[in-house]
């Protein structure tokens, strides 16, 4: 026997044909009948429920935007931080003097 061959033990039952049956194959679950489905209160017979993902699709890549340059509002947080830093340094200088 080579390294790639597997030495499987003989079947202890002695049965040659397949005899292990899955429970799903042996005992099938019953399906719902059409009369068990509740009546649609809207009265519309064709499919009418739409997923929000299909109704309101997100824009894909390549959507153009109004990128005319730097927005001055984006500089406000940095300017506020710089003013706070200057105020803190001036306060320390006055306390040391």
Output the pLDDT for position 85. Answer: 97
Output the pLDDT for position 75. Answer: 92
Q: Helix (H, G, I), strand (E, B), or coil: what is residue 94?
A: helix
pLDDT tens-digit readout, 34-65: 677 777 778 887 877 666 666 676 777 775 66
Greater pLDDT, 51 or 7: 7
Residues 4-30 have a mean pLDDT of 73
* pLDDT at 87 > cutoff 90: yes
- Torsion angle (degrees, nearest 10) of CA 61, 64, 67, 68: 160
Q: What are phi and psi of 53, to 5 degrees?
A: -65, -30
pTM of the entire predicted model: 0.31
């Amino acid at each position: 026997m080579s390294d790639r061959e597997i030495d499987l033990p003989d079947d202890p039952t002695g049965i040659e044909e397949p005899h292990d049956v899955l429970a799903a194959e042996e005992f099938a679950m019953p399906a719902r009948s059409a009369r068990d489905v509740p009546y649609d209160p809207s009265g519309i017979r064709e499919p009418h429920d739409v997923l929000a993902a299909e109704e309101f699709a997100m824009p894909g890549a390549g959507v153009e935007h109004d990128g005319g340059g730097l927005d001055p509002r984006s500089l406000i947080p940095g300017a506020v931080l710089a003013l706070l830093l200057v105020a803190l340094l001036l306060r320390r200088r006055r306390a040391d003097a």
